Amino acid sequence: MSTDAKNPIAQMEKIVSLCKRRGFIFQSSEIYGGCGGVWDYGPLGAELKRNLRTAWWNTMTREREDVLGLDASILMNPAIWKASGHVDTFADLMRECSLTNKRVRADHVDPQDGVVMKYSGAKAPNGWRWDRAISALLKNSEHIESFRKRIRALIAQNAGEAAGKPEEIELLNEEKIDAVNGSVDFHPETGGILGEARPFNLMLKTYLGPTATEDDVTYLRPETAQAIFAQFKNVFDSSRVKVPFGIGQIGKAFRNEVTPKNFTFRSREFEQMELEFFIKPDEAVEIISGEVATWHEGADLSVPQPNWGWELWHRYWVDQRTKFYQGIGLGDVLEYYWQTPADLAHYARACVDILCEFPFGTEELEGIAARGDFDLSAHQTASTKSQEIFDEELKTAAAKLTDEQKEALIQKRLAAEAAKTKGEPMPEAAVRAWFERLFKGSYVPHVIEPSAGLDRMALAVIAKAFSETEKVDEKGKKEVITVLRLHPRVAPIKVGVFPLLKNKPELVAKAREVYALLKKHLNCFYDETASIGRRYARQDEVGTPFGVTIDFETCGEKGPELQDTVTLRHRDSGEQERVKISELLGKLLPLVS
């Protein structure tokens, strides 16, 4: 572990500094003073990201029979963003609390009663001053002293350390103004007066077409998922697949984040890796298999089964994604947050956040949501193009049902609709119409969506791998050794190739030979400058898992049995072993892929 694990800010600064110094991540447009919330990946960062991208693509699509790839455009018909709800939800009118700058949606403020208290400002014994008129609501039930204490605490929280202790803050020139009834002008939690309602649109607006009129307005996609939904039918029709199957995509997405922060963690331009895995509605599974399997602790999730409904598929993908993270060295820093019914969007059945420990806190890496048929249905309605698929197996199974059995299924669903706590229940006529289609083998597939952030993953991998140890050299001088303990699969450089000494032509020649041999198959780095120890250290710092050193034994100095063997050094243990050059690739390749 790092020496500075207790100081997250210092820890992050070291990581940012290493990323810049060794060419992982640079600030975008740095020579012009930067550009807010966007970052560039340098030579090593580009390799790291590529390795992560490839790992995702291979495990999620190429190594599976039931997932296909897609590479859709960033610009799309803006109608997609209206149908998906992004135009509305990403453009809320928000009001800011004047006391804390906390924002609330303008239409989410409940009417409140109380007395308006006013102050001309605040000051603290340490000389700190806040010259801003303060208005806040003293609620009817609230005691004046508890109100003042609360206001002091809020001011202190907002001012940070400069204001000192909350109890020492003095509120200036208290005035009691009018009593208000049913006012929506005060923040529901803080009581601070709210500013003007302003739109906060998180989508990046642009113009598609050179005339740049309002008719040409479109958006840079705020997520890659919608492109998958929009192309669902084309992929389905062109690929001879059956539900369940998935479509995976990796690509850039853009959000006008109000506050980009934590290095690359929240950026305005970022790369997503999303899978939309389409499954049959539970009712279809029940008709075909006679039952829908239920999840229990310890359920076998290794091989998908025909009787799985959304719940088991959802669990399955959580399990799959966990295995993926274990495979890139993040297994022991993951946490899970299962959203509660209150957290969930009305259309979502379940959502799990896979969180990862960063120096700045435990934050989300990936969300895995069971979204029902919300997205495809929304596009079906908005585009008026059917997103239903036809399921032969379902039709055959449904044909064998008696009318009583069919009615039982319908009644079960109606009861479930009636018990809904969120969103409108589906009217009975609509439910019956839906079953009518279902019994004929047609339905809009439901979806499980594992959605990961590539930039976050790269940052997580770097942060997890970052380690410092203090070392005292023979002169008693302390130095800090930095090692990136990257998983060999994701490390940008797999092998460093070094001649022991550079002034011995036979060592250099042999080393170049080994380098030429390896670099066709692995990303290698050749280095002949400085002492061998320094070269090892340089590679340790960028996470290179293996070092190959060509020494005098390689040239046969210690006898023929060691001729054409090299020293293979392991980064994490520092251990060395002798390996024949001819066996090097066979030994290394399985370790890095």
Partner RNA sequence: GCGGGUGUAGCUCAGUGGUAGAGCACUUCCUUGCCAAGGAAGAUGUCGCGCGUUCGAAUCGCGUCACCCGCUCCA
* Binding status of residue 27 toward RNA by CB under 7 A: yes
* Binding status of residue 252 toward RNA by CB under 7 A: no
The 8-class DSSP code of residue 445 comes to P
Q: How far is the CB of 189 from RNA (least distance, A)?
A: 9
- Give the other-Cβ count within 10 Å of 100's Cβ: 16
Q: Which of residues 497-536 bind RNA (CB under 7 A)?
A: 500-503, 529-534, 536
Question: Which of these segments, 251-259, 307-315, 318-326, 512-520, binds RNA (CB under 7 A)?
Answer: 251-259
Q: Record the tokens describing residue 190, joined without a space.
A: 């803080």
Question: Which of these segments, 10-18, 119-127, 140-148, 311-319, binds RNA (CB under 7 A)?
Answer: 10-18
Q: Record the tokens describing residue 140, joined without a space.
A: 């009817």
The number of C-alpha atoms within 13 Å of 142 and in the hemisphere containing its C-beta is 20
CA 357 to chain centre: 13
Give the residue with the Cβ less far from RNA, 226 or 280.
Answer: 226
Reference 405, options 279, 283, 243, 280; nearest CA is 283
Q: How far is the CB of 565 from RNA (least distance, A)?
A: 10
Q: Which residues contact 26 (CB under 8 A, 6 or more apart)?
A: 19, 20, 39, 40, 41, 42
Q: How far is the CB of 560 from RNA (least distance, A)?
A: 15
* Binding status of residue 576 toward RNA by CB under 7 A: yes
Strands 217-220, 245-254: pairing is: unpaired
Question: Which of these segments, 44-52, 115-123, 406-414, 445-453, binds RNA (CB under 7 A)?
Answer: 445-453
Q: How far apart, in whole angstroms, are the C-alpha atoms of residue 541 and residue 533?
A: 12
* Binding status of residue 20 toward RNA by CB under 7 A: yes
**DSSP letters of 101-132?**
--EEEGGGPPPEEEEEEEESEEE-TTS-EE--
Residues linked to residue 341 through DSSP beta bridges, in sequence order: none
| Ramachandran angles phi, psi of 326, nearest 5° | -65, -35
Q: How far is CA 90 from CA 51, 257, 348, 536, in A?
A: 32, 11, 18, 49
Q: How far is the CB of 399 from RNA (least distance, A)?
A: 40
| Ramachandran angles phi, psi of 135, nearest 5° | -125, 135
The mark string for 151-180 relative to RNA (x by CB under 7 A, - otherwise) is ------xxxxxx------------------
Q: Which strand (E) or helix (H) includes residue 14?
A: helix 8-21
Q: How far is the CB of 69 from RNA (least distance, A)?
A: 18
Give the residue with the Cβ less far from RNA, 375 or 455.
Answer: 455
Classified as helix, coil or strand, 170 is strand
The mark string for 453-482 relative to RNA (x by CB under 7 A, - otherwise) is x-xx--------------x-x-----xxxx
Give the residue with the Cβ less far from RNA, 289 or 339.
Answer: 339
* Binding status of residue 41 toward RNA by CB under 7 A: no
Q: How far apart, in whole angstroms, are the C-alpha atoms of residue 435 and residue 281?
A: 11
Give the residue with the Cβ less far from RNA, 400 or 478.
Answer: 478
* Binding status of residue 150 toward RNA by CB under 7 A: no
Q: Give how many residues touch RNA by CB under 7 A.
A: 84
The mark string for 277-316 relative to RNA (x by CB under 7 A, - otherwise) is ----------------------------------------
* Binding status of residue 257 toward RNA by CB under 7 A: yes
**DSSP letters of 122-188?**
EE-TTS-EE---EEEEEETT--HHHHHHHHHHHHHHHHGGGG--GGG-EEES-EEEEEEEEE-SB-T
Question: Which of these segments, 100-108, 322-330, 375-383, 429-437, binds RNA (CB under 7 A)?
Answer: 100-108
Q: How far is the CB of 452 from RNA (least distance, A)?
A: 5
- Give the other-Cβ count within 10 Å of 25's Cβ: 26
156, 169, 365, 398: which one contacts RNA (CB under 7 A)? 365
Q: How far is the CB of 67 from RNA (least distance, A)?
A: 18
| Cβ(438)–Cβ(395) below 8 Å | no
Classified as helix, coil or strand, 299 is coil
* Binding status of residue 421 toward RNA by CB under 7 A: no
4, 364, 506, 564: which one contacts RNA (CB under 7 A)? 364
Q: How far is the CB of 194 from RNA (least distance, A)?
A: 12
Reference 494, options 589, 390, 371; nearest CA is 589
Give the residue with the Cβ less far from RNA, 2 or 567.
Answer: 567
Rounded (5°) CA angle 172-175-179: 145
Q: How far is the CB of 390 from RNA (least distance, A)?
A: 31
* Binding status of residue 13 toward RNA by CB under 7 A: yes
* Binding status of residue 270 toward RNA by CB under 7 A: yes
Sign of the torsion angle spanned by Cα atoms 54, 60, 64, 68: negative
Q: How far is the CB of 76 from RNA (least distance, A)?
A: 17
* Binding status of residue 339 toward RNA by CB under 7 A: yes
Instruction: Order the strands of the 175-183 sheet from edge to edge.
Output: 134-139, 112-119, 175-183
Reference 158, options 109, 112, 221, 96; nearest CA is 96
* Binding status of residue 263 toward RNA by CB under 7 A: yes
261, 346, 420, 437: which one contacts RNA (CB under 7 A)? 261
Question: Which of these segments, 135-143, 145-153, 428-436, 450-458, binds RNA (CB under 7 A)?
Answer: 450-458
